[in-house]
Chain A
Amino acid sequence: MSALIVKIISFIAPLFAIIVLIRAVRSMFNGKTQTEIWGYIQTDEKVLRITHWENIIGRTRSADIHLSNPKVSRVHAVLIRTAKAKWRIFDIFSKGGVRVNGDPVGASGYPLNDGDIINLSDVSVRFRDINERQRSEIESRRVVTWKNVHPAVTLLYLSVFQIMILLEHCFTAASENVPEIALGFVLLILLEWFCYFLMRSLRKTGFEVEIIAFFLSTIGLSVIATSVPTEIFRQMIIVFAGVVAFFLLGAWMRDLDRTKTMRIPAAVIAIGLLAVTLVIGDVQNGAKNWIFIGSTSIQPSEFVKVAFIYVGAATLDRLFSTKNLIVFIGFSAVCVMALALMSDFGTALIFFATFLVISFMRSGSIATVALAVSGAGMAGFLMLKIKTHVAKRFAAWGHVWEDVYDTGYQQTHAMSAGAGGGLFGKGAGNGWLKDGFAANTDTVFSLVCEELGLLIAICAVLAVLSLAFFAVRNTAQGRSAYYSIAACATASMFTIQLALNVFGSVDILPFTGVTFPFVSRGGSSVLACWMLLAFIKAGDTRKGASFVVKAPDAKDKEAKA
């Protein structure tokens, strides 16, 4: 009887997973791109809109304020709106120079006020600021995003999905573990609804990335429930802490100036953490990347991921500063080398790939060369350092079925168990892979395939990818390059991690043993994922959507008061 119920649920649950995913994605990509407007540039012929906080003025097609006059340099100047709604202009590599009302402007910038005349070489334009009242008027005409796809309904579907997975566990788990598993799932459901009402009370409408994260956390919780049921309460505490960290980091990043001032301290803390790990860290599974404090173990490299993006992202004016670039390259090199010394190949690879993404997104002219050179240097060091570790794994890659009890052990067992699940799975708690080595981290994709089925596992992969697509789409309306770079770097980091985890475990890529974002067991990893999510949240500039993004009307009220 109970077997029949589990079977029926396992056939219905994927449907709810698909609905949740489709609704979240529809909500993310609903409607046309609508830009925010922050000011205008008047030329002799036309009026150009300023749609970001940071804008490149120049002749290049990719300039935000595009002037076709041949006297203007390709990248002539950068126009930036600072935190207190003041504007500054910076001269960047221009041949003909920049003057404001006749005064020359240097690389350190020059304040701009409404009505100022800017001379770019001998092209003269007028800068028009807009006040907060005009801003909120424009803002009010932007589309409200959740009209079609109400997040509460999506959340309801998600809750039903969670209850179904819980029910499966109730039928399959050992009876002494059932209360704890039930408590874990109920707490997760309460937490997500609490977050939803918190958002509503803040008058924020965007809830898609949170829903995606809660969906992935549900699968993660199921993995814990089946493999280490006694840890489920601990896992819920970590998710709770992750959500708190997500809100705190998001709130912190509302103020870009404040965010920027903490970049150097963040870098120092990150390097300090890595140094401490190198000195007092413990070796587990060949990598010296654990610190034990009493009975709890933490993986500092996971938190360094957050710092890496925090430090790596930069505002547009800074992108052209050599000093800023050198700091970033130095920081990246130290991180990657420290990880290589710890023999944490997987994480080093993630850092290196993310470094390349950030480099690519920030690269200007000289910068490209410098980054390429340092990138190659780092890659070389990485290969030299980890050669022996990697050689074995690369040798096994593509040949795992030839050595199923040694180098191919984890992958072949994972593929076998995963294929045994079919499309709908054997039911949560019914698999055999859960008892295998590192099944709830390294080969978690196959564990999900086996118990919840290929359909739900694919949903989990697509859920992570939806975050990436969302981050990329948001860059088009990004306020600051800092937010855009941070969001895309996070998206890339998630994507790389996902690819290494999933494809490593099924022998499409070499096996590196990294975690599946939000799903793999591991407190540090889950906590770091929630913090990273704040970067993606910060890139969302749809009207009134993200709590990380300040709404102009709120500011207007402050001004009136």
Chain B
Amino acid sequence: MRKVSLRSSFALIMALLVILGLCIYIIRYINHGEEWALYFDQATSSCTYTLTDRNGVVLAKMGNGEKTYAEDADVRTACYQLVGDYGGNVGTGALSSFTKELSGYNLITGIEAQDDVDLSLTVDSKLNVKAYEALNGRNGAVIVSNYKTGEILCMVSSASIDPNNPPTEIPDGAYINRCISSAFTPGSVFKLVTLTAAIENIDNLYQRSFTCNGSFEVNGLTVTCTGTHGTQTIEQALANSCNCAFGQLALELGADTIAEYAAKLGLTSSHQLDSITTAAGNFDKAEANSASLAWSGIGQYNDLVCPYSMLRLVSAVANGGTVVEPSLLGVSDTESEMLKGSTAAKIASMMSYNVTYHYGESTFPGLKICAKTGTAEVGDGQASHGWFVGFLDDDKHPYAFAVIVEHGGSGLGSAGAIANAVLQAAVND
């Protein structure tokens, strides 16, 4: 019997192994519990919550077996990619991305199945409606933030749908938030990168003059300009958005330097907008002294930029070189230096000069606007993408913005008009 009894310790060892397994589970639960709990859409399916915009306008409401969106059809459509839907079609939508906040999750109490959770986004749905109207059926993206607090005030992507009455044929890309999930050919807005590199690497930049004869030759290939700008200063070259000037600067700076600045200014990497990962951009280093290198310095060639990255860049320029990380959930508490204060100030003044010298202040009545246009050629005989990025140099209204209209043609005419409409609404609220 003693022998049998001794052998019974085998059962004991098995029981201890189960306890060991339980410890492994508990450790994994502590490390990954949140990730697990929020993985599926069911995570919030038993919750009661209300998602509102910054003014308390209900964007989505779930509870007591009901799932609703905003009352107003225009708000629903203008905020579709921002909010997402209950089917999880928009991966970056708030309903899918902010499950932790909506479900009130924490490790101890798990998902709050019983309490009402209220989550308000920083976005103003009125501005979204305004921006969506201004896009007027064209595909594009509009994103506006407060560069001092990081709050995103407007974020619209078109084409869009009304989640309450989705069309039988969903428009191409309606499930994608172009503001954060797409990267486009930047065109001339990329000149801000080449400019930054030039300011910090070319000592006599301001003493130089740049001559434009409408085009120039590199290794037998022609780089064309949008006009014939004659002799210009760097300020004038930026305002003219002169390809000859910036193409030659790119050749002078070299691909490595421009690539370094594109990365430093956050255009090639992806970012975290709260828990959302944004799209990365692209900058391919072309051969030295090639037309491709010249084109890459003026935002063509293989360059791609996400509107969100552009917003971060102009926010940093506006905010003395320091970027306050944008957020949809409230005033941001993370900031980092993107470029030198002195460089930021120089770029800012040139962006201001752009408007007064070239775009015309009357185009933006009452706004102290600093901006840069972009008209990105996309080939295949299609109309160019129109870009307009910049900020208001206004302590009361410290807003940064990035607007793109796909195949909208001229940046100023398409995107600039939309920026004006939205900013007018934001300032005169």
Contact of A419 among B1, B33, B45 (CB under 8 A): B33
Answer whether residue B12 sits at the interface, using C-beta atoms and an 8 A cutoff: yes
Residue-wise interface mask of B (96-127) relative to A, using a CB-CB cutoff of 8 A (1 in contact, 0 not) = 00000001011111110111000000000000
The answer to whether B36 touches A419 (Cβ under 8 A) is: yes
Of B19-27, B144-152, B275-283, which binds chain A? B19-27
Q: How many residues of A contact B (CB 8 A)?
A: 66
Q: Which residues of A contact B17 (CB under 8 A)?
A: 499
Q: Given the interface contacts A422-B108, A465-B15, does A472 sit within 8 Å of B1 by beta carbon?
A: no
Answer whether residue B74 sits at the interface, using C-beta atoms and an 8 A cutoff: no
- Among A62, A404, A502: residue with most chain B CB under 10 A: A62
Q: Given the interface contacts A415-B36, A461-B22, does A492 sit within 8 Å of B4 by beta carbon?
A: no
Closest Cβ of chain B to A373, distance in Å, is 19
Closest to A454 in B: B29
Residue-wise interface mask of A (478-519) relative to B, using a CB-CB cutoff of 8 A (1 in contact, 0 not) = 100100110010011001101100110010110000000000
Q: Which residues of B contact A485 (CB under 8 A)?
A: 4
Closest Cβ of chain B to A519, distance in Å, is 15
CA distance A475 to B5 in the complex (A): 5
Answer whether residue B34 sits at the interface, using C-beta atoms and an 8 A cutoff: yes
Residue-wise interface mask of A (1-36) relative to B, using a CB-CB cutoff of 8 A (1 in contact, 0 not) = 001101100000000000000000000000000000
CA distance A492 to B4 in the complex (A): 14
Q: Which residues of A contact B106 (CB under 8 A)?
A: 422
Q: How many residues of B contact A (CB 8 A)?
A: 47
Closest Cβ of chain A to B7, distance in Å, is 4
Of A48-56, A148-156, A201-209, which binds chain B? A48-56
CA distance A63 to B40 in the complex (A): 59
Closest Cβ of chain A to B17, distance in Å, is 7
Q: Given the interface contacts A471-B8, A478-B1, does A420 sit within 8 Å of B43 by beta carbon?
A: yes
Q: Can you list 14 residue pairs at the A/B interface with Cβ under 8 Å?
A: A3-B115, A419-B34, A420-B110, A421-B110, A424-B108, A425-B110, A427-B113, A430-B114, A465-B15, A465-B18, A465-B19, A471-B8, A475-B8, A498-B18
The answer to whether A316 touches B110 (Cβ under 8 A) is: no
Residue-wise interface mask of B (338-359) relative to A, using a CB-CB cutoff of 8 A (1 in contact, 0 not) = 0000000000000000000000
The answer to whether A422 touches B8 (Cβ under 8 A) is: no
Q: Given the interface contacts A63-B2, A468-B14, A495-B15, does A432 sit within 8 Å of B46 by beta carbon?
A: yes
Interface residue ranges of A446-463 to B (CB < 8 Å): 450, 453-454, 458, 461
The answer to whether B114 touches A419 (Cβ under 8 A) is: no
- Among B15, B32, B114: residue with most chain A CB under 10 A: B15
Closest Cβ of chain B to A282, distance in Å, is 31
Closest Cβ of chain B to A36, distance in Å, is 11
Answer whether residue B135 sits at the interface, using C-beta atoms and an 8 A cutoff: no
Answer whether residue A521 sits at the interface, using C-beta atoms and an 8 A cutoff: no
Closest to B10 in A: A360
The answer to whether A422 touches B110 (Cβ under 8 A) is: yes
Q: Which residues of A contact B105 (CB under 8 A)?
A: 420
Answer whether residue B37 sits at the interface, using C-beta atoms and an 8 A cutoff: yes
Q: Given the interface contacts A64-B1, A423-B109, A475-B5, does A357 sit within 8 Å of B10 by beta carbon?
A: yes
Closest Cβ of chain B to A107, distance in Å, is 18
Q: Given the interface contacts A360-B10, A361-B4, A472-B11, does A416 sit within 8 Å of B39 by beta carbon?
A: yes
Answer whether residue B42 sits at the interface, using C-beta atoms and an 8 A cutoff: yes
Q: Which residues of B contact A468 (CB under 8 A)?
A: 11-12, 14-15
CA distance A481 to B3 in the complex (A): 10
Q: Given the interface contacts A417-B42, A506-B25, does A471 sit within 8 Å of B110 by beta carbon?
A: no
Answer whether residue A299 sits at the interface, using C-beta atoms and an 8 A cutoff: no
Contact of B114 among A427, A450, A458, A508 (CB under 8 A): A427
Answer whether residue B221 sits at the interface, using C-beta atoms and an 8 A cutoff: no
Q: Which residues of A contact B46 (CB under 8 A)?
A: 426, 430-432
Q: Given the interface contacts A422-B107, A496-B14, does A478 sit within 8 Å of B4 by beta carbon?
A: yes
16 additional A-B pairs beyond A363-B7, A422-B111, A509-B21, beta carbons within 8 Å, are A60-B3, A64-B2, A416-B39, A418-B36, A421-B111, A427-B114, A430-B114, A432-B42, A453-B110, A468-B14, A472-B12, A485-B4, A488-B8, A499-B21, A502-B22, A508-B25
Q: Which residues of A contact B22 (CB under 8 A)?
A: 458, 461, 502
Answer whether residue A343 sits at the interface, using C-beta atoms and an 8 A cutoff: no
Answer whether residue B9 sits at the interface, using C-beta atoms and an 8 A cutoff: yes
CA distance A465 to B11 in the complex (A): 10
Q: Which residues of A contact B40 (CB under 8 A)?
A: 404, 412-413, 416
Answer whether residue A476 sits at the interface, using C-beta atoms and an 8 A cutoff: yes
Q: Which residues of A contact B45 (CB under 8 A)?
A: 432
Closest Cβ of chain A to B261, distance in Å, is 38
Answer whether residue A240 sits at the interface, using C-beta atoms and an 8 A cutoff: no
Q: Which residues of B contact A426 (CB under 8 A)?
A: 46, 110-111, 113-114
The answer to whether B108 touches A492 (Cβ under 8 A) is: no
- Among A54, A416, A421: residue with most chain B CB under 10 A: A416
Answer whether residue A469 sits at the interface, using C-beta atoms and an 8 A cutoff: yes
Closest to A496 in B: B14
The answer to whether A420 touches B37 (Cβ under 8 A) is: yes
